[in-house]
Structure 1
Amino acid sequence: MLKNTNINSNKKLDLLILVGGKGTRIKKYLRGLPKPMLKFNNKFFLNYIINFASKYNLNKIYLLTGYKSNIIYQKFHNKTFNFVKIECIKEKKEMGTAGALNSLKNKINDFILLNGDTLFDIDYLKLIKSLDKNNYGTMSLVKNLKQNSMKLNFLSVNNNLVKYNSKGSLMNGGVYFFRKEFLKFIPKKKCSLENDILPSLIYKKKINGKIFDNFFLDIGTENYYKKASRLLIKNFKRPAVFLDRDGVINHDYGYVHTLKKFKFKNGVIKGLKYLTKKNYYIFIVTNQAGIGKKIYSLEKFIKLHKELKEILIKEKIYINDVKYSPYHIDAKIKKFKKRSGFRKPGNLMIKEILKSWDILINKSFMIGDKISDKMCAEKSDLYFEFAKDNFYYQARSIVKKG
Structure 2
Amino acid sequence: MDTTRQVVILVGGRGTRLGNLTDENPKPLLPVGDRPFLSYLLDTIIRQGFDKIVLLAGYRSAQIADFVAAYDAHGADIRIVTETEPLGTGGALYNALDQLDQQFILMNGDTLFDINLNAFAAPQLAPALCRLALRTVDDTSRYGRVTLQHGHVNSMAEKGVAGEGLINGGIYLLDKAAIAGIGAGFCSLENEVFPELLAQGRLTGLEYSNFFLDIGIPVDYDLAQTAIPALADRPAAFLDRDGVINEDSNYAHRPDQIRWIPGAFEAVRLLNDSGYNVFVVTNQAGIARGMYDALAVNQLHDWMQQEFRRHGAHIDGFHFCPHHPEFDTACDCRKPEPGMLIAATAAMPSRLQGSFLIGDKDSDIQAANRFGIPGHSFQGDENLRDFVARIIEK
**CA shift digits 1:82-135 (9 cap, x unpaired):** xxx2322231524443233232435412111111211223455457789976x7
Q: Could you say which residue in structure 2 is the equivalent of 1:352?
A: 346
Counterpart position of 1:250: 246
Q: Which amino acid aligns with 1:349?
A: A
**Which of these residues, 61, 66, 90, is aligned with residue 71 of structure 1?**
66
Given the superposition, is the C-alpha separation of residues 246 and 38 from structure 1 closer, same or farther in structure 2, using an over 3 Å criterion? Answer: farther
For the 8 Å contact 2:246–2:259, the answer to whether it is kept is: yes
Aligned equivalents of 1:223 and 1:383: distance in 2?
40
Give 1:14's match in structure 2, choosing from 6, 11, 22. 6
Instruction: Report the Cα distance in structure 2 between the residues aligned to 1:322 and 1:108, rounded to whole angstroms.
Output: 25
Opposite residue 350 of structure 1, the aligned amino acid is A
Structure 1 range deviating more: 253-262 or 42-51: 42-51
Is 2:21 aligned against 1:25?
Answer: no
Report the CA distance shift for 1:276/1:115 in structure 2 as closer, same or farther (over 3 A): closer
Q: Contact between 2:3 and 2:310, CA under 8 Å: does it hold in 1?
A: no
Alignment CA distance shift 1:205-1:397 (3 Å):
closer
Q: Return the offset for 1:289.
A: 7.8
2:107 match:
114
Q: 1:219 aligns with which of 209, 215, 222?
A: 215
Residue 180 (structure 2) aligned to one of 184, 198, 205: 184
How far apart are residue 203 of structure 1 and its match?
Answer: 5.2
Q: State the one-letter code of the partner of 2:37.
A: F
Contact kept in structure 1, 2:282 and 2:321, CA below 8 Å: no
TM-score normalised by structure 1 residue count:
0.71
User: Which residue does 2:41 correspond to in 1?
Assistant: 49
1:136 aligns with 2:129: yes
TM-score relative to the length of structure 2? 0.72
CA 1:196–1:340 in 2, change beyond 3 Å: closer, same or farther?
farther
> Is 1:262 matched with 2:258?
yes
Aligned residues: 375
What amino acid is aligned across from residue 382 of structure 1 in structure 2? I
Letter in 2 for 1:86: D
CA contact (8 A) 1:327 1:340 kept: no
Confirm or deny: 8 A CA contact 2:57 2:83 kept in the other structure.
no
AA of the residue aligned to 1:351:
T
Equivalent residue in structure 2 for 1:295, among 271, 292, 296: 292
Residue 187 of structure 1: CA displacement? Answer: 2.0
Contact 1:115/1:174 (<8 A) preserved: yes
Percent of aligned pairs sharing the same letter: 29
State the partner residue of 2:91: 99
CA drift of 1:284 comes to 1.7
Q: Which residue of 2 aligns with 1:239?
A: 235
- Unpaired runs of 5+ residues, structure 1, are 1-8, 331-336
Question: Does the CA-based 8 Å contact 1:65-1:88 persist in structure 2?
Answer: no
Matched, 1:365 2:361: no
Q: How far does residue 379 in structure 1 lie from its aligned partner after superposition?
A: 6.3
CA contact (8 A) 1:14 1:112 kept: yes
Structure 1 residues 370 and 350: CA distance shift in structure 2, 3 A: farther
Equivalent AA in structure 2 for residue 19 of structure 1? V
Going from structure 1 to structure 2, the CA distance change for 1:129 and 1:378 (only over 3 Å counts) comes to closer
Return the letter of the residue paired with 1:120.
Answer: F
Could you tell me which of 276, 282, 291 is aligned with 2:278?
A: 282
Cα contact 1:141–1:171 (8 A) shared by 2: yes
CA contact (8 A) 1:138 1:208 kept: yes
Q: 2:79 aligns with which of 60, 82, 88?
A: 88
Please give the secondary structure, in 1, of the residue aligned with 2:105: strand
How far, CA to CA, are the matches of 1:268 and 1:128 in structure 2?
16
C-alpha displacement of 1:61: 2.8
Q: Quick one: which amino acid aligns to residue 60 of structure 1? A: K
Q: Distance in 1 between matches of 2:202 and 2:134?
A: 16
In structure 2, distance between residues paired with 1:34 and 1:338: 52
Q: CA contact under 8 A between 1:130 and 1:208: conserved in structure 2?
A: no
Per-residue deviation at 1:296? 4.1
Deviation at 1:245, TM superposition (A): 2.3
Question: Equivalent residue of 2:180, what SS?
Answer: helix
Q: In 2, are the aligned partners of 1:13 and 1:109 still within 8 Å (CA)?
A: no
Question: Structure 1 residues 145, 231: CA separation in 2 closer, same or farther (over 3 Å shift)?
Answer: farther
Root mean square deviation, CA, Å:
4.5
Whether the 8 Å contact between 1:341 and 1:348 is mirrored in structure 2 is: no
Aligned to 1:6: none
CA deviation after TM superposition for structure 1 residue 216, in Å: 1.7
